[in-house]
Structure 1
């Protein structure tokens, strides 16, 4: 036993550790759980009882010797690596050019929408994302049993369902009409929330832009001409627009807005499902009950309102097929919009 201890001690003293691989091999050979020192400790039970104390002390000294050599080698290798890193850098290399970020496609389209409507006299209004029942539903002529009030569509923040995350930016229209007197001409871009499953065509968080114009003698013809102008400015002068009768609680009459498909130019494809048309939003004349709820005399004033999803418009404009790309922050996707302002 004593001879084995002396042999291992000589091997440890003579061991050369010059790199990380040799360091790891030294640790495994002598200090590891299956190393030579561990094997000597296992053999301690074979030593005569009167010699066991002295042999145990020799083994502990051997273990400490191996541990000290391992730690010294680690420090030397770390210092050598640091020195090499400092001296190996080539300071004559040219600098790495700074890379600029890109605007998000939703921001690009939002800004363009704002510029288009500003040119015809619309300003921008904003409001809180956490709303109450009055501004989100009741003032907008939603009846008590309307499906949008149910949990599957709305994120309620209180048990009495009076506090919620807004489901549309129409809440800003209500606040604007409550705070200001006509004439009113404004758009309301912003983020909205609905309790929906996330997929390539839907998301629980998305963006809308809504518009409101209230004044004396505002007609449906004014609404149509405004949206004709908007579609041609955003999508191109060859874009066609059509209105389909629809229903919304806060407008009467109401219509959905379609534009000719940008992919097939109206000839029919899988994007427009062969119809040649793609829906971009809803619109209509502001319901007299909504005007009255907001303190505006419906006998003296009339108005129109419209709303569109910014994600939907962005997908059409840039031919993006998966809504989830907007929120994944994939640099490869975002870099496609470099140089776009």
Structure 2
């Protein structure tokens, strides 16, 4: 039996090898049947025949394993000899995410203003009426409240105790600007420390069209110190815009305007030129078919706002400015519809987003 089985194993292929294994070592196999007879033998007989039967099983098991390994090695060698790998073919690029233009611009703003000594400050998106309006010189009867199209947060429960508690609490709103962060930053500073911050973040207003969305992103800047003038404000904005648009020919125009939290207030226009029938930021703003484009609101911080933040307005002055981050992204990177920023269309994001390998940086600093 041993000679017959080893001969069969030596000439078998992989499929036949499995049949031989079942024939010899399976539950009803020939070798298995011999092993079962050991239980009925006498001790003397078992001592004589046991080693022979166990030796048969081990020889067959070893021959099966050796033959299988040999056949698999031959199959692999044949496959390697028949297949080739073309190293000149381009590798498949795996799908990867992209950086949203808003996130990219936020990073650029933080980098530019860090070079100017500004820190980044944040605050809650659900604010009290006092922080969002009253502390910013917008009392309940002020007409400027109508300019903000505010979302008020209403109680969601009809339980009596919750309604009573809501009636005692100050009105809550989705912040209409990031200006409340200015008040919180002044309060945190204690009324006796210079402040230089920017406050980027989400804001909310009930408005929706090609250039407005109910939720949008805004950045505001605040400087509080002694001896601050409009000249400091203009230099800061001019330096910022030159670094952001990466052009030295940025020209600004400050137009008198009105904001309840600044006095005097100014809208900031930047000059643009016409290049290949498209508006490009930079240039004189008046000649060669160019013009002016509004990009920022700014002004000297109102005395009442300084006082609400805990500072003495007779000792401390400051300036503030604000603009839409989404609008800055549109101007710099060529988008024409704000609503697409929030549609969640992957095709749009692949077109306008930034991959991890080609995200533009402003590492050269504001003086570059």
Q: With structure 1 as the length reference, what TM-score do the two structures score?
A: 0.67
Using the alignment, how far apart are the partners of 1:135 and 1:152 within structure 2?
14
The match for 1:253 is 264
Is contact 1:148-1:154 (8 Å) kept?
no
Secondary structure, aligned partner of 2:153: coil
Please give the secondary structure, in 2, of the residue aligned with 1:98.
coil
**Counterpart among 159, 178, 181 of residue 187 in structure 2:** 178
Alignment of 1:221-260 (within 5 A): 221-235=231-245, 236-260=247-271
Looking at structure 1, the residues matched to 116 and 329 of structure 2 have their Cα atoms a distance apart, in angstroms, of 22
Structure 1, unpaired ranges of 5+:
1-91
Partner of 2:319: helix, strand, or coil?
A: strand
Task: Give the match for residue 208 of structure 1.
Answer: 218
Q: Is the CA contact (8 Å cut-off) linking 1:231 and 1:241 kept in structure 2?
A: no
SS of 1:298's partner is coil
Contact 1:178 1:295 in 2 (8 A): yes
Mapping for residues 269-284 of structure 1, pairs under 5 Å: 276-284=291-299
1:11-64 alpha-carbon deviations (Å, 9 max, x no partner): xxxxxxxxxxxxxxxxxxxxxxxxxxxxxxxxxxxxxxxxxxxxxxxxxxxxxx
Counterpart residue number, 1:34: none
* Unaligned segments of structure 2, at least 5 residues: 1-84, 156-166, 274-278, 361-368
Query: Contact 1:151 / 1:195 at 8 angstroms: preserved in 2?
Result: no
Secondary structure of residue in 2 paired with 1:101: coil
Aligned position for 2:359:
340
Does structure 2 retain, via aligned residues, the 8 Å contact 1:266–1:277?
no
The CA distance in 1 between the partners of 2:312 and 2:123, in whole Å, is: 23
More deviation in 326-335 or 300-309? 326-335
1:149 to 145, 169, 172: 145
Larger Rg belongs to = 2
Out of 172, 175, 186, which is 1:166 matched to?
A: 175
Alignment partner, residue 124 of structure 1: 120
Write the mapping of 1:27-106 to structure 2, written as runs, cut at 5 A.
96-106=92-102
Deviation readout 1:208-247 (Å, 9 max, x if unpaired): 0000000111111100100010011111212211111001
Matched residues in 1 for 2:311 and 2:175: separation? 23
CA RMSD across the alignment:
2.6
**CA distance in structure 1 between the partners assigned to 2:146 and 2:320 by the alignment:** 24
Q: Of the candidates 326, 329, 335, which is equivalent to residue 311 of structure 1? A: 326
When normalised by structure 2's length, the TM-score is: 0.62
Helix, strand or coil for the counterpart of 1:156? strand
Instruction: Supply the distance in 2 between the matched residues of 1:162 and 1:305 (Cα, whole angstroms).
Output: 26
**Counterpart of 1:59?**
none
